Structure 1
Amino acid sequence: MAFVNEPEISKSDNEKYGIDELNKLYHRMFLPMSNGWGWTIDRERDCYLRFVKQGRYKEEGEEQISYFSFYWNGVVRVIRFQSESGGGGRQAPVWKQKYYLKKITPPLDDLNTLQKEQFFEVLKEGLVTFRDAGAFSEAPEFEASFDF
């Protein structure tokens, strides 16, 4: 199985992963928090990617900054990216997104080299599946590139 975009998180998944508790934390960290994007989940590997917030204000250093929550190997991490998008609009033939990794919280200090490689491989798969808006993406085709 692979990652799939789901427009809603089921009650059983909400309980399994403690989503309500994470949302309370994220609301304090990222007021306002983005809601309603569902998630990108790989049930076979027991991992998920959730869009948490899109920075908007240049004066706050948040322009083109995206925050994701990534659950992998039993640990939830918040990942901060700067991104560049293009392609002529979300309904253009190809929507492109480039991700620049800025910060991972908590850091990957608990992982060995092979685990870090696996972490980034799975994260990239999740981001490619997420596209530009998860289950709500309207991009007919999508290309993602990464600087990590």
Structure 2
Amino acid sequence: MSFVNEFISDEDVEKYRIEEIDEKFVSNGTRARDWTIDRDRDVYLRNVAIGGGAEPELRNRMSWTLYWHGDLIVLRLDLISGGEDADGAGWAQWKLMWLNGSSGLPLHLKEQRTQILADLKDALTAYRSFGIYSREWPSYQVILEVDEGCVI
């Protein structure tokens, strides 16, 4: 199976403790009830807070949770740019600013860094521009950069 965008079932809200996670994102929290999930890999990506303000550098700051094989990782991803090519293909450029505040991955996940980043990119590609609410493109590409100050 691969990543799909879907609404979160009541069972999954309970299983993954979504309401408990939401309590941590009071300011600009989305309370989103949709996610991008790969059940076979036991990985999901969920937007939990959106930056506020009129300036793009604030508005494009987003907090996400990446559930990866039993571990919850909190990310800040900034949307740098995105759009559509002349052939109709969609794309987005994201920059990973930090993981778990600025403390990076827990020690037991450090060796999995490459796979975690690959799964994050796969999830963002499936998420497209707006998860379950995304329009269809013939193809979609994600450019994922890691900020030079990001501790992984």
TM value normalised by structure 2? 0.81
Q: 1:64 aligns with which of 54, 60, 65?
A: 60
Q: 2:34 aligns with which of 35, 38, 62?
A: 38
Root mean square deviation of aligned Cα: 2.4
Contact 1:85 1:95 in 2 (8 A): no
Equivalent residue, structure 2, for 1:3? 3
Q: Distance in 2 between matches of 1:17 and 1:40?
A: 14
Equivalent residue, structure 1, for 2:44? 48
User: By how many angstroms is 1:63 displaced?
Assistant: 3.5
Q: Distance in 2 between matches of 1:95 and 1:35?
A: 26
User: By how many angstroms is 1:37 displaced?
Assistant: 5.6
Aligned partner of residue 23 in structure 2, secondary structure: helix
User: By how many angstroms is 1:83 displaced?
Assistant: 1.7
The one-letter amino acid paired with 2:126 is T
Q: What are the superposed Cα offsets for residues 71-129 of structure 1, whole Å, 9 maximum, x if unpaired?
A: 0021111110122223269xx92332111110100521414554111111111111110
The worse-fitting range, judged by mean Cα deviation, of 77-86 and 96-105 is 77-86
Q: Whose helix fraction is larger, Structure 1's or Structure 2's?
A: 1
Change (3 A) 1:54 1:134: same
Equivalent residue, structure 1, for 2:117? 120
The gaps in structure 1 that reach 5 residues or longer are none
Q: What are the superposed Cα offsets for residues 38-62 of structure 1, whole Å, 9 maximum, x if unpaired?
A: 0001111111000112213267x62
Equivalent residue, structure 2, for 1:130? 127
The one-letter amino acid paired with 1:96 is W
Q: 1:96 aligns with which of 88, 91, 94?
A: 91
The one-letter amino acid paired with 2:4 is V
Q: Distance in 2 between matches of 1:135 and 1:88?
A: 18
The one-letter amino acid paired with 1:26 is F
User: By how many angstroms is 1:66 displaced?
Assistant: 1.7
Q: What are the superposed Cα offsets for residues 8-55 of structure 1, whole Å, 9 maximum, x if unpaired?
A: 21111111100011111222xxx1212346000111111100011221
The one-letter amino acid paired with 1:15 is E
Contact 2:78 2:96 in 1 (8 A): yes
